[in-house]
Amino acid sequence: MVRALADGHQVTLSTAAIRVVRLSSARCAVIFCDRPKVGWSAPSPRLRYRFQKGGALTKASLARGYLQGHPMPDWRTRAPATAWLRLSGRKREAEVIEHCVPMRAYQAALSLLVLPPDWRGRSR
């Protein structure tokens, strides 16, 4: 969807992803990752969590796997929420949906994270 929007409106993939996230009613974010760290992030209005620029990516994130040379699936996948969010207690068992798009020209990756609709934990 984001790629089709970018192509259809002749904007960058990052611009299209930010626009989708900012207009979304879901709890989601787009995160630009390079040197296995967070370069920048754009959360949706409903996602209260902020991703620290320069923060290290965990081994469980698809983005880090790609940046370390692992093959990248071309679909959304469930990832442990702790790959991206600092959680405690039972919330540590939660999952998020991560779709990671390689940005080879920048030696980077763009991850779109979506918290499931039944998410009960508070993001911070």
State the average pLDDT for the chain. 84
**8 A C-beta contact, residue 57 and residue 36:** yes
pLDDT of residue 121: 55
| Cα–Cα dist 119/106, whole Å | 33
Q: Is the pLDDT of residue 123 over 90?
A: no
Residue-wise pLDDT tens digits, 33-63: 998 899 999 999 999 888 989 999 998 899 9
Residues 40, 54: Cα–Cα separation, whole Å:
8
Q: Residue 64 contacts by C-beta under 8 Å, 6 or more apart in sequence?
A: 33, 36, 57, 58
Q: Do residues 14 and 110 touch, judged by C-beta distance below 8 A?
A: yes
Query: How far, in Å, CA of 42 to CA of 21, rounded?
Result: 7
Percent of the chain with pLDDT strictly greater than 90:
35
Given the structure tokens 């209260």, which residue do they identify? 48
Give the residue-averaged pLDDT of 71-89: 80
Give me the domains of the chain, ranges plus CATH numbers.
25-114 (3.30.450)
